[in-house]
């Protein structure tokens, strides 16, 4: 049996106020003073779902790839660019614009209309674009791959080349869903892909460079579940920082506007293969995980996250816009003992 982490940010703020009033020591879930994230003020075209963020080096553009819209580029992942360090975003097209560019997908997955939850990763000068093809309510799904020598859409070298299928799932054959890829190269140089949505939860499978495809004989293993019949967990994303691998996941229900109940949770491990534990030692394979971000004010159901160079990108449903989805980016705070914080100081104080 697991114990849910007793971290409710409103409670943390209340404890802070009470402690200050009566002059007692402040209890913190990390045994230290509370730290906070910084939310970027975004402008421009930020209507994105399942954002894959790439923070550019100094002087370079930032990019966000996101779930496609059937009305643009035949549902190909959408591309947005920022030339001012993530503040202002412009729509600059789709990863491909002809269905024949990924003709094999339509043969594999009946009824595909748009392509979901892209992932971007660079290896030795090549960019790898992972994407999912599926339909709602089924695990008849595939994860595909394209490569490009650059993300710069204005470069003459830019262009995505189909590399085919990475992984698939099928009803009655697999107890997982092959969508929502998140790829990280471990400290030994081995790439790994996390993926999954509902069914058997979050899986991890070994890849190999330079192909970016599964290693010979690789089989997925489970690294996170909700440990119940619904198993509402998806959108895994891996990151490494200061000796720990972090697994970010989205939990509960997305895609329902202001009725969405999405939230983001996290655990960590000293090994990329896990086990991933939360701050109380609960295993994410058995519903562990610290809540990192959830509904607050007009920000409904944050999730579909990615991480790049200290920044967490995610979508949420904006109550002030009738539940339309929007991009958000936050520079995470980090506690002294290495736990990420996604709430801002204003939210913690509220």
Q: Is 346 labeled as catalytic in the residue annotation?
A: no
Q: What integer best gives the mean pLDDT of the chain?
A: 91
Please choose, from the candidates 344, 248, 237, the residue with its C-alpha nearest in 3D space to the C-alpha of residue 299.
344
Q: What is the pLDDT of residue 65?
A: 98
Q: In the chain, which stretches have pLDDT less than 70?
A: 1-33
Q: What is the pLDDT of residue 33?
A: 64
CB 26 within 8 A of CB 19: yes
Q: What is the pLDDT of residue 3?
A: 34
CB 87 within 8 A of CB 96: no
Q: Is 50 labeled as catalytic in the residue annotation?
A: yes
Please choose, from the candidates 346, 349, 249, 307, the residue with its C-alpha nearest in 3D space to the C-alpha of residue 38.
346
How many C-alpha atoms does 313 have within 13 Å on its Cβ side? 29
Rounded to 5°, angle at Cα 273 from 268 and 275: 50
Q: What is the pLDDT of residue 136?
A: 87
Alpha helices, DSSP H only, in 66-138?
103-108
Which among 50, 69, 283, 347 is annotated as catalytic?
Answer: 50
Q: What is the pLDDT of residue 30?
A: 45
pLDDT digits (tens, 9 = 90+) for 267-287: 999 999 999 999 999 999 999
Q: What is the pLDDT of residue 34?
A: 75
Q: What is the pLDDT of residue 243?
A: 97
Q: What is the pLDDT of residue 241?
A: 97
Which among 206, 234, 278, 318 is annotated as catalytic?
Answer: 234
């Amino acid at each position: 049996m697991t114990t849910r982490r007793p971290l409710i940010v409103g409670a943390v703020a209340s404890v802070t106020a009470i402690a200050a009033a009566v002059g007692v020591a402040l209890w913190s879930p990390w045994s230290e003073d509370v730290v906070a994230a910084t939310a970027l003020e975004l402008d421009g075209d930020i209507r994105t779902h399942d954002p894959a963020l790439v923070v550019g080096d100094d002087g370079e553009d930032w990019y966000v790839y996101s779930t496609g819209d059937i009305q643009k580029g035949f549902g190909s992942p959408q591309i947005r660019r920022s030339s001012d360090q993530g503040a202002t975003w412009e729509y600059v097209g789709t990863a491909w614009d002809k269905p024949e560019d990924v003709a094999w997908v339509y043969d594999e997955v009946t009824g595909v209309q748009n392509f979901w939850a892209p992932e971007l990763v660079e290896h030795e000068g090549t960019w790898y674009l992972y994407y999912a093809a599926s339909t709602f309510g089924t695990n008849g799904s595939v994860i595909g791959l394209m490569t490009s020598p650059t993300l710069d859409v204005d470069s003459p070298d830019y262009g995505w080349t189909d590399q085919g299928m990475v992984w698939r799932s099928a009803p009655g054959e697999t107890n997982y869903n092959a969508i929502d890829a998140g790829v990280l190269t471990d400290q030994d140089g081995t790439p790994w892909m996390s993926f999954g949505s509902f069914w058997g939860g979050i899986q991890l499978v070994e890849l190999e460079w330079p192909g970016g495809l599964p290693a010979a004989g690789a089989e997925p293993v489970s690294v996170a579940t909700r440990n119940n019949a619904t198993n509402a967990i998806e959108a895994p994303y891996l990151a490494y920082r200061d000796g720990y691998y972090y697994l970010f996941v989205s939990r509960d229900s997305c895609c329902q506007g202001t009725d969405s109940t999405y939230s983001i949770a996290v655990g960590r491990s000293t090994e990329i293969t896990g086990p991933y534990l939360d701050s109380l030692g609960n295993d994410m394979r058995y519903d562990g995980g610290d809540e990192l971000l959830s509904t607050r004010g007009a920000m409904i159901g944050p999730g579909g996250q990615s991480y790049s160079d200290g920044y967490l990108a995610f979508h949420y449903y904006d109550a002030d816009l009738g539940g339309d989805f929007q991009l958000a980016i936050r520079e995470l705070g980090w506690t002294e003992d290495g736990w990420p914080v996604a709430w801002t100081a204003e939210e913690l104080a509220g």
